[in-house]
Chain A
Amino acid sequence: MSKNGISRRRLLGGAAAAAAPAALALGGVLNGRGAEVDRALAGRPPAPNGHAGHSDFPHATFAAGATVDHVRNGFHPTEILRDFDYGTTRRLASGRVLREWEIVAQDKKIEVAPGVSYEAWTYNNRVPGPTLRAREGERLRIRFVNASEHPHTMHFHGVHRAGMDGMPGIGELGGGGQVEPGESFAYEFDASPFGLHLYHCHVAPLAAHIARGLYGAFVIDPRQGRPEADEMVMVMNGFDTNFDLANEVYAVNSVGFHYVNEPIQVERGGLVRVYLVNALEYDPVNSFHLHGNFFQHYPTGTSLAPSEYTDTVIQGQGQRGILELEFPFDGDYMFHAHVSEFAELGWTGFFRVGDPSRLTAAAAAAYCELPWGERGRT
């Protein structure tokens, strides 16, 4: 909606009264708010039972007009979405590929909701940290520099030796334990097994170190690769801004409602692959639900055969999975945690399929053999 200068809120709310076909297709029909539209059309005052606000409240959102300062944050959720960090590679004498990264831990104040700042701890100045991507069987070397004021580590999910586990108290002799401020350490292991994993800090108190923002997705592609697709990473997270061990803000890639304000643009009929990781602390369960579509689910991405064709997956803490889907119709399709509380506290977004200017009632009707809904004919 930002493209044509009309905010979503206005379009879903008052503008629907103008009976603009686009508004009806997007707002009235998607949200099933026919009664509000009818009332607005008739110019009748709202009922005094408290329900009147529905037309201003198509879904939860932050205060109107407010956005996060992405520039000051130094990262942008729309960019994080498709930003895969492949590091640098060179051939070892053995012929194997050595893939290297440098990751710096830093304390950084970020804006997690419009107007709300949070003292985050970051990998490479962003939350979530960079999405590290390698291919199965490669040798990986991650040089970790701790520029934070607190001790940290990088603990990778994967198959590796104990000394490379980023676990304080284990492998301390080899330097692979707790990395003190100003110190560094190079983790080294083989990319195994293929799938979707994560990395995070493992210094105690663990929940606090993770919740502050020290986590990221870790993708190991199978040797033969996966089919070509529009790939994106979604790290489900949240922020406990008042440190009461419960999150005040929930999101995908850190900024609540970001993909509501900037829907994720995808092609109709193209293969979309979502790398979905749950890095949420303090809540045992998170989930992902997609509107108007189903997807193939590959839990942990460790098998090339999907386990389920569904529209909702549940993930516990540290769980992850790969979703593959195609959108058959143009339009805006919501995705959100089906833990509705999280959805209304920020964990909500939209996929935008095709060109929104084509989303007229006539175009919508073209899909249908039966007469289109009553609202389309007003």
Chain B
Amino acid sequence: MEAGGQVERAPGGGLPTWALGAIPLALIAIAIAAFALLGGPGLGERSGPPVEEVAVEQTALRPGTIELTLRNDGPDPVAIAQVAVNDAYAPFVAEGGNEIARLGSTTLDVSYPWIEGEAYEIFVLTSSGGTIEASIPVAAETPTADLDFYGLMALLGIYVGVIPVSLGMLWLPFLGRLGRRWMSSLIAFTVGLLAFLAIDATLEGLEIAAAAPAAFGGTSLVFVGALVAYLGLAGVDAHLSQRGRRAAGAAASGGFYLALLVAIGIGLHNLGEGLAIGSSYASGALALGAFLVVGFAIHNTTEGLAIVAPLRGGSSGEVERPGLGRLLGLGLIAGAPAILGAWIGASAFDPSLAALLFGVGVGAILRVIVQISPAMRDPDGRLLYPSTVAGMLAGIAVLYLTGLLVSV
């Protein structure tokens, strides 16, 4: 306002600016307090019985015990009365108490002689006679989260994340030999890969979110995560390129910078992938066969290729050859989150958190696509022309086909 200068009279009279900001806030607080104190005048009693919405967040199997973690997702408190496993009432103890307040949670330790490999349907009877259902498709003991277990998850993350991504990056010298006209096709190939990953992660995130409590956002968490990641990366990008300009260096717009972005996007994607692997391993739904690990490795090797492609296809047009340390760094950024994901997924899997993380991966990938796409423009400024379209289709096809190896 002061900057404008031509305002004749400031609205709000002589009040200071902070007061103009605080007065509406104070009035809102007073109105809410009055409304609450008067018990919502004019609204009357609620019609109908209390609403019971409870989500089963986790099931874990210990010898002779089935553990269910429940979260009250509805507006009213819920009291747990009885538990039946495969149509047989079973003794249980509620660790967090039988009453679950709104958004509260409790864990039921149900004594039941479950047998490995069998399927179980559980219903929890509430005080109103309503039922909360949970199912265990294949019973297997839930691994306890000790040091061995974290070690195993780390090994798994290295197998399916770090090693294959790094191996994929070994294509860099090969890319250097390719002629200039391959540049845009390579970038297009990467875009195709990333687009496939984005679609895949969206669907996966939505599937997980469907089981998450609606009160924490449910499926919208995937989109919120994507938006946050996209905007966050855009902000970081703007900041870096500003600094880059100030430093008068070309690095910010160079191939390494793009490769870093791709590595970050793929890293966030692999976080989600690790999460899925860890949680299905913890629930016994995943057999850690060599076949699966090999499948993931092949699948993720293509991601390494996607990271190094911009090094060949950066705006400079020349092949950048960053030092081994920096390349290794890229590999870790892209691959290591699989380890973290596996840890989180196996020990503290929470459908709401998982949905959010999958969304973050999607947003990051979208941002990377937007970021690297300009590099495939032809002299006329077109993005889509035969060689880029072919490159994108090839990228999609490669991930689709290698994805068949790991459909769990």
Contacts and interface: CB of A to CB of B under 8 A. Distances in A.
Given A49-B63, A114-B82, A63 B91 contact: yes
A114 B87 CA distance: 17
B90 A115 contact: no
A239 B89 contact: no
Given A61-B91, A115-B79, A345-B89, A241 B114 contact: no
A242 B131 contact: yes
B129 A52 contact: no
Contact of A344 (B82, B88, B114): B88
Contacts of B90: 57, 60-61
B141 A256 contact: no
Interface string B97-128: 01000000000000111111000000101111
B65 to A, nearest CB: 7
B140 to A, nearest CB: 9
A58 to B, nearest CB: 10
Contacts of A113: 81-82, 89, 125
Residue of B63, B64, B84, B112 with most partner-chain A CB within 10 A: B64
A15 B165 CA distance: 58
B89 A60 contact: yes
Nearest to B91: A64
Contact of A241 (B91, B92, B130): B130
Contacts of A239: 129
Contact of B82 (A9, A50, A116): A116
A256 to B, nearest CB: 7
B139 interface: yes
A257 interface: yes
B63 A52 contact: yes
Contacts of B131: 241-242, 244, 248
Contacts of A53: 63-65, 111-114
A62 B88 CA distance: 9
B113 to A, nearest CB: 4
A228 interface: no
Contacts of B63: 46-53
Nearest to B140: A50
A14 B127 CA distance: 30
Contacts of B84: 60, 248, 344-345
- Name which of A48, A50, A248 has the most chain B CB atoms within 10 A of its CB: A50
A63 B115 CA distance: 21
A260 B125 CA distance: 20
A9 to B, nearest CB: 7
B61 interface: yes
B111 A248 contact: no
Contacts of A331: none
B271 interface: no
A218 B224 CA distance: 64
A239 B130 CA distance: 12
Contacts of A244: 131
A48 B125 CA distance: 29
Q: How large is the interface on B (under 10, 10 to 19, 20 to 34, 35 or more residues)?
A: 20 to 34
A115 B91 contact: no
A344 B127 contact: no
A338 to B, nearest CB: 14
A346 B61 contact: no
A101 interface: no
A341 interface: yes
Contacts of A52: 63-64, 113
Contacts of A63: 81-83, 89, 91-93
Nearest to A257: B89
A47 B62 CA distance: 11
Interface in B314-344: none
Interface string A104-131: 0000000011111110000000000000
Interface in B175-213: none
A116 B129 contact: yes
A113 B131 CA distance: 13
B110 to A, nearest CB: 9
Nearest to B98: A115
Contacts of A48: 63, 141
A70 interface: no
Given A50-B116, A53-B65, A114-B81, A341 B87 contact: yes
Given A63-B83, A116-B81, A50 B92 contact: no
Contact of B127 (A50, A57, A116): A116
A315 to B, nearest CB: 20
Interface in A1-60: 9, 46-54, 56-57, 60
Contacts of B64: 46, 50-54, 56-57
B113 A51 contact: yes
Contact of A242 (B65, B111, B129): B129
Contact of A62 (B82, B98, B113, B123): B82
Given A48-B141, A344-B89, A345-B87, A57 B125 contact: no
Contact of A50 (B88, B91, B141): B141
A63 B61 CA distance: 19
A35 to B, nearest CB: 12
Contact of A61 (B89, B129, B141): B89
A249 B83 CA distance: 11
Contact of B139 (A50, A54, A117, A249): A50
Contacts of A46: 63-64
A319 B171 CA distance: 79
Nearest to A48: B63
A346 B167 CA distance: 60
Interface in A232-250: 239, 241-242, 244, 248-249
A71 to B, nearest CB: 18
Contacts of A117: 127-129
Interface string A70-113: 00000000000000000000000000000000000000000011
Nearest to A115: B81
Contacts of B123: 248
Given A116-B125, A241-B130, A50 B114 contact: yes
Interface of B: 61, 63-65, 79-84, 87-93, 98, 111-116, 123, 125-131, 139, 141
16 contacts: A46-B64, A53-B64, A53-B114, A56-B91, A57-B64, A62-B82, A63-B83, A113-B89, A115-B79, A115-B98, A117-B128, A118-B129, A241-B128, A341-B88, A344-B84, A345-B88
Interface of A: 9, 46-54, 56-57, 60-64, 112-118, 239, 241-242, 244, 248-249, 256-257, 341, 344-346
6 nearest A-B residue pairs (beta carbon): A53-B64, A241-B129, A115-B81, A344-B88, A53-B113, A52-B64
